[in-house]
Amino acid sequence: MEPLRTGDPSRIGRYRLLRRLGAGGMGVVFLARAPGGAIAAVKTVRSSYAEENGFRARFRREIEAARQVRSPWVVPLLDADADAETPWLATSYVPGPSLTEAVDTFGPLSLASVRVLGGRLAEALEAVHGAGLVHRDVKPGNVLLAPDGPRLIDFGIARAPDATALTSSGVIVGSPGFLSPEQARARGGEIGPPSDVFSLGCVLAFAATGVRPFGGGGAAGMLLRTVYEEPDPTAVPDSLAPLLRACLAKDPSARPTLAELRRTLDEEVPESDSAARSQWLSAPVTRLINDRAAAVLTLGTIEPTQVSAPASAVSPEAATLTAVTAVPPPARAVGRRGFLRLGSTAGVLAAGGGGAWWWSTRPDPGTTPASGANPRPVLVVAFHGDLTGPRKEAGNAQLSGARLAVEQLNAKSAHPFRLKLRTYDDGGDPKRADVLAARLAKDADVLAVLGPTTDACFLSTEVTYTKATMPVVSVSVGADTRSRTIGENEYHHSHAALRVADPLLAAPCSRYLGNHVDTRRALLLDDRAQGDFAWSLCDQTQRALRQSGRDVTVTRVPAGKIDYASLAAQVMSARADAVLFSGDATRAAGLASALRTARFTGTRMATERAFAPRFLTSAGAAATDWVFATSFTDPTVRPSARAFTKAYRTRYGTAPGWYAAEAYDAVMFLAEACTKDGSPVTERGAIARRMPEITYSGISRTVKYEQGYGYNHDAMFVFRATDGAFRYLGQYQEKAVS
């Protein structure tokens, strides 16, 4: 629990708010007290969602779905108002942790506990299905643990099996890693009660082992493994293997019914064994529940005190603060898994001591007001990137573009504020990045972060930045974060990824091969050295080309040493007229040379992972006419970026590097997010909420958030290797590509 913040309401409906329980992309959940003294959890919805077309109708359906279900193992709905200015709903408060928190902190549940968990969740889902609904989002984060049993929550996407609002083909609904194959394939009409059985099997596997049955990582990889691969054997304990494997069957008709599942689990924990059922949780989890319950009871006996806040500290609509004094819950012991999860960060913090030697101290130009000028407020943005490590070229190009944007913005005397750009170098090291993120999160002056440069550094910092409600704008991160959650909280609105997610690069590949060169027979090379990226790229490109009648074959390339001559021979024997390679620049150069030796004359295509000067130098003449799909543009040939390119050359004496223009746009986009009604926005949460609400027409793209797609989902471009250089062909959908 956290204290209420400046600007939080003191009441919602008939409920008096006591504490914050959590906040995410959708809204805030508060701990509240009803007039009769009952404690409740009140879920509110951000105004940006409430104003969307159709949102209130969807929210009413969630309320109606929750009201239809009656079960002791489902958290009951107490009250709701979908028509309020800020829509909200109230449910009974369960002081226990979610299953996610319990497993992450204390480790997997015992098998006896898993059996009780499964039996009671099966009973809860029977009530859901008995009301004519399918839950569709059964996951550990939606299971709360109480002393007498679990509680199922969240009916936000529950629907009748034949409903059409969110079951149309092409719409994926649910949480990757815990949804069924039919959900992963977006086959809405096939999503019925067996889908919830599959999700329940995933939840029980996670509870028993602490491992997701279809792995972790990006959403695209999890979805593909769910559809095409068997569960990880380490995620299926031997004693539960037959039952869980049946639940995780790809064919919905092969899965057991909930009644069959419950009978099997009840046989292992008989109803007569009351001790096993009443003491179903381990002592540490039970202590945590008791501690939280005690803390809530303490809150319930204290009347909040209304105190005036300094006029300068609050917005006009927030004239008071709610101050609540409470005894904090006792510190809980951290279990082995929780200790290991914290250990690497704690070790780096200890090693860092008092001086973070990798912090850059170079002064930022353009941040000192001219003498005699009227002072304007200064807003601090941190540039967090790789300036000295493996991706230093991209990181320094981004920093140069960002600095140019700050200079130009601060030169506008009419602008309501000035920007100060502080520079931090993580060297491409995820551990160093995490330490930097912790420092920046605690620095109250820093209102937003531009970066990091790499996927690994972004993923290592996402929890820290999210918990700090830090607005993060990245321009070169390709991790698919649209569906990711941290604990109970969705966070995609606090991260604006101006680069498309890696799997989307299949779109320019399939369009170029299918529309531009009219490929008839394509060979797609899935380079295992690139992991899920290569898999998803080849899988999605294959699907798109096959839908247009092309003959497509996918061949896996081992992650180790490649026999390039043999690989080229496979291309020739397949009689392919196009090859798509998913590997990096070094391996692509080896393949290019082998294909030239084999006299292959068809289309050769790769992605930005192979887009590097070393490809050109290593492949030599064999590099000619290779085509590349990228997420960055070439500002030197874009009319919209001519002024930027000229200013960049004047400032730095060279042409803009890759992602420099995107970083320039990122700063200008952040400046828009920090401005409302001509005044500066100086609170992190408010900036994060502004980001998906604005549209910024930049020099490299138009930055705009679209529900379900994120930012800039069509910002992909095509280049060709010609005369020892990369020549920009255009945005991948443009007819000018040639």
Q: DSSP states of 54-82 as a string? A: THHHHHHHHHHHHHH---TTBPPEEEEET
Residue 434 · residue 460 · CB < 8 Å: yes
SS3 187: coil
Q: Which of 654, 645, 638, 622 is nearest to 724 (CA)?
A: 622
pLDDT at 323: 26
Write down the pLDDT at residue 150.
96
Number of neighbouring beta carbons within 10 Å of residue 598: 16
The residues facing 420 across adjacent strands are 380
| The pLDDT of residue 369 | 43
Other beta carbons within 10 Å of 304? 17
Query: Got the DSSP string for 401-421?
Result: HHHHHHHHHHT-TTSS-EEEE
Q: What tokens appear for 475 in the block?
A: 């321009």
CA dihedral angle for residue 388, residue 394, residue 395, residue 398, rounded to 10 degrees = 150
Confidence of residue 594 (pLDDT cuts 50, 70, 90): very high
DSSP state of 357: T
Burial 74-110 (b: 16+ CB within 10 A, else e): bbebbbbebeeeebbbbbebbbbbbbbbbbbbbbbbe
- 333-360 average pLDDT score: 30
Q: Could you tell me which residues come within 8 angstroms of residue 53 by beta carbon, excluding any fewer than 6 positions away? A: none
Which band of pLDDT confidence, cut at 50, 70 and 90, is reported for residue 236?
confident
Distance CA 683, CA 689 (A): 10
Which run of H or of E encompasses 184?
Answer: helix 181-184
Round the average pLDDT of the chain to a whole number and report it: 81
Report pLDDT digits (tens) over 51-76. Answer: 776 778 878 877 887 788 889 999 98
79-98, pLDDT tens digit by residue? 989 888 888 889 889 989 99
Determine the pLDDT at residue 467. 85
Q: Average pLDDT for residues 325-342, to the nearest whole number?
A: 33
Query: 376-414: per-residue pLDDT in tens?
Result: 899 999 999 999 999 999 999 999 999 999 999 999 989
Return all residues near 35 (Cβ < 8 A) that are at least 6 apart.
14
Spell out the CATH class of 378-500+657-698: alpha beta
Percent of the chain with pLDDT over 70: 81
What's the pLDDT at 306? Answer: 33
What tens digit of pLDDT does each residue of 459-506 get? 999 989 988 889 999 999 988 665 444 444 444 458 899 998 888 899
**Tens digits of residue pLDDT in 666-707:** 999 999 999 998 899 999 888 998 998 899 999 998 898 887
State both tokens at 543.
Answer: 């699907």
Cis peptide leading into residue 365 (ω within 30°): no
- List 104, 137, 196, 364, catalytic entry: 137
User: What are the residue ranges spanned by the domains of the chain?
Assistant: 1-93+302-333, 99-283, 378-500+657-698, 503-630+719-731
680, β-bridge pairs: 675
Residue 547: band (very low, low, confident or very high) from pLDDT cuts 50, 70, 90: confident
Angle between helices 219-228 and 532-547 (to 10 degrees): 70
Q: Judging by beta carbons within 10 Å of its beta carbon (0-12, 13-18, 19+), is residue 703 exposed, middle or buried?
A: buried
What is the average pLDDT across 6-33?
85
Burial 328-340 (b: 16+ CB within 10 A, else e): ebeebeebeebee
Mean pLDDT, residues 182-188 taken together: 75
Q: What contacts 243, CB < 8 A, 6 or more positions away?
A: 256, 261, 264, 265
Q: 417-470: per-residue pLDDT in tens?
A: 999 999 999 999 999 999 999 999 999 999 999 999 999 999 999 989 988 889
pLDDT value for 646: 94
Could you give the residue ranges of the DSSP H alpha helices within 10-143? 47-50, 55-68, 99-106, 111-130
Q: What backbone torsions phi and psi does residue 463 show, to the nearest 5 degrees?
A: -65, -45
Amino acid making up residue 165: A
Host H or E run for residue 527: strand 521-527
Task: Please determine, for residue 335, whether its predicted confidence score (pLDDT) is greater than 60.
Answer: no
Residue 436 pLDDT: 95
Which position has the higher pLDDT, 295 or 603?
A: 603
| DSSP one-letter code for 514 | I
Are 99-283 and 503-630+719-731 equal in CATH topology?
no
Residues ≥6 apart with Cβ < 8 Å to 167:
159, 173, 188, 189, 191
Helical residues (DSSP H) of 632-733, grouped into ranges:
642-652, 660-673, 684-690
The residue to which tokens 């101290």 are assigned: 361
Coil/strand/helix, residue 296: helix
Cβ contact 684:677 at 8 Å: no
- Would the pLDDT of 352 be above 70? no
Residue 411 CB-density burial (10 A; 0-12 exposed, 13-18 middle, 19+ buried) = exposed
Residue with tokens 């497993």: 103
| Sequence-ordered list of residues with C-beta below 8 angstroms from that of 363, at least 6 positions apart, any chain | none
Rg (CA), the chain: 27
- Residue 677 designated active-site: no
Reported confidence tier of residue 340, pLDDT bands at 50, 70, 90: very low
Q: Which of 41, 38, 46, 45 is CA-nearest to residue 30? A: 41
Q: What is the pLDDT of residue 370?
A: 43
Say if CB 498 and CB 715 are below 8 A apart.
yes
Of the candidates 441, 392, 400, the residue with the CA atom closest to the CA atom of residue 421: 400
Identify the pLDDT of residue 268: 63
1-93+302-333: CATH, from 3.20.10.10, 3.40.50.970, 3.30.200.20, 3.40.50.12280: 3.30.200.20
How many Cβ atoms from other residues are within 10 Å of residue 667's Cβ? 27
In terms of CATH, what superfamily is 503-630+719-731? Response regulator (3.40.50.2300)
Residue 317 has pLDDT above 50, yes or no: no
130 pLDDT exceeds 50?
Answer: yes
Q: Based on DSSP, count helices (H) and strands (E) in the chain, helices before strands.
A: 23, 29
Q: What is the pLDDT of residue 431?
A: 94
Give the CATH H-level superfamily of domain 99-283: Transferase(Phosphotransferase) domain 1 (1.10.510.10)
CA dihedral of 608, 610, 616, 617, whole degrees rounded to 10:
140
Query: Looking at residue 48, what is its pLDDT?
Result: 65
From the CB of residue 524, how many other CB atoms can be counted at a distance below 10 Å? Answer: 26
* CA gap 178, 69 in Å, rounded: 22
* Cβ-contact 41, 352 below 8 angstroms: no
The residue-averaged pLDDT of 554-572 equals 94
Q: Is 620 left (phi over 0), alpha (psi -120 to 50) or beta?
A: left
